[in-house]
């Protein structure tokens, strides 16, 4: 899951500049996505996710580590882009519900990346998903994700990268 976990914090570190929705509003007069979703965050986040995935591929090829998942260029690209596409879809629905940028939306805020990554994987590389993600792995992902999310966001808040600690 590293290629899916890395894009969000990197987007928070590198984000800023032109928002993905170009500042446009929807028919409800609220922003389509909001200022929290930028092209820079999207680009560097996905790049970093793919980068960590390439490192995993290199590590397992070099040291033959059987406990590492057998990633492919496709699997890491799907996990990294799926994570941030999921994050953007979440923001779209968050704005439609009238929630401001950075406002809490429990469950959606934590699992958007997992849902996005898994849906993309299911559509474009289902065999990778079913070979590598067992039921036990999936349960571990469901437990680990909100914990990691919280810890990383608190760190982001304290170093001044995130505006809120969630
Ligand atoms: N970010 C970005 N581009 C993205 C995703 C994130 O620039 N595609 C940056 C933004 O600076 C954002 C920060 O990362 O504020 C934290 O991301 P997130 O918590 O997903 O955004 P929020 O500001 O909470 O906005 P939202 O309410 O829409 O989730
Ligand atoms: Mg948020």
| Predicted local distance difference test score (pLDDT) of residue 66 | 78
| Predicted local distance difference test score (pLDDT) of residue 64 | 85
Ligand 1 test: best mutation among 37, 86, 156, most atoms within 8 Å of CB?
37
Query: Position of tokens 């998903």?
Result: 129
Instruction: Report residues whose beta carbon is within 6 angstroms of any ligand 1 atom.
Output: 11-12, 15, 34, 36-38, 41-42, 84, 87, 91, 94, 101-103, 162
β-bridge partners, 25: 31
| Predicted local distance difference test score (pLDDT) of residue 46 | 98
| Predicted local distance difference test score (pLDDT) of residue 69 | 80
The size of the chain, in residues, is 166
To the nearest 5 percent, what fractions of the chain are helix, strand and coil? 65, 0, 30
Neighbours of 77 (CB within 10 A): 19
Task: Please give the distance, rounded to the nearest whole angstrom, from the Cα atom of residue 13 to the centre of ligand 2.
Answer: 13
- Do 49 and 32 touch, CB atoms closer than 8 A? no
Q: What residue ranges of the chain have pLDDT lower than 70? A: none
Spatial separation of the C-alpha atoms in residues 12 and 101, rounded to whole Å:
13
pLDDT digits (tens, 9 = 90+) for 75-107: 999 999 999 999 999 999 999 999 999 999 999
Task: Please give the distance, rounded to the nearest whole angstrom, from the Cα atom of residue 62 to the centre of ligand 2.
Answer: 37
pTM: 0.96
């Amino acid at each position: 899951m590293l290629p899916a976990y890395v894009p969000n914090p990197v987007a928070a570190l590198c984000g800023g500049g032109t928002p993905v929705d170009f500042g446009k509003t929807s028919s409800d007069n609220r922003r389509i996505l909001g200022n929290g979703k930028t092209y820079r965050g999207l680009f560097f986040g996905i790049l970093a996710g793919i980068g960590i995935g390439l490192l995993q591929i290199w590590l397992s090829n070099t040291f033959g580590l059987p406990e590492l998942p057998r990633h492919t260029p496709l699997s890491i690209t799907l996990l990294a882009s799926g994570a941030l596409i999921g994050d953007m879809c979440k923001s779209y629905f968050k704005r439609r519900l009238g929630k401001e940028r950075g406002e809490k939306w429990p469950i959606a805020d934590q699992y958007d990346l997992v849902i996005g990554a898994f849906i993309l994987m299911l559509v474009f590389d289902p065999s990778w998903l079913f070979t590598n993600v067992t039921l036990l792995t999936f349960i571990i992902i469901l437990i680990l994700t909100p914990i990691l999310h919280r810890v990383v966001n608190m760190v982001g808040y304290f170093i001044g990268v995130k505006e809120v600690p969630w």
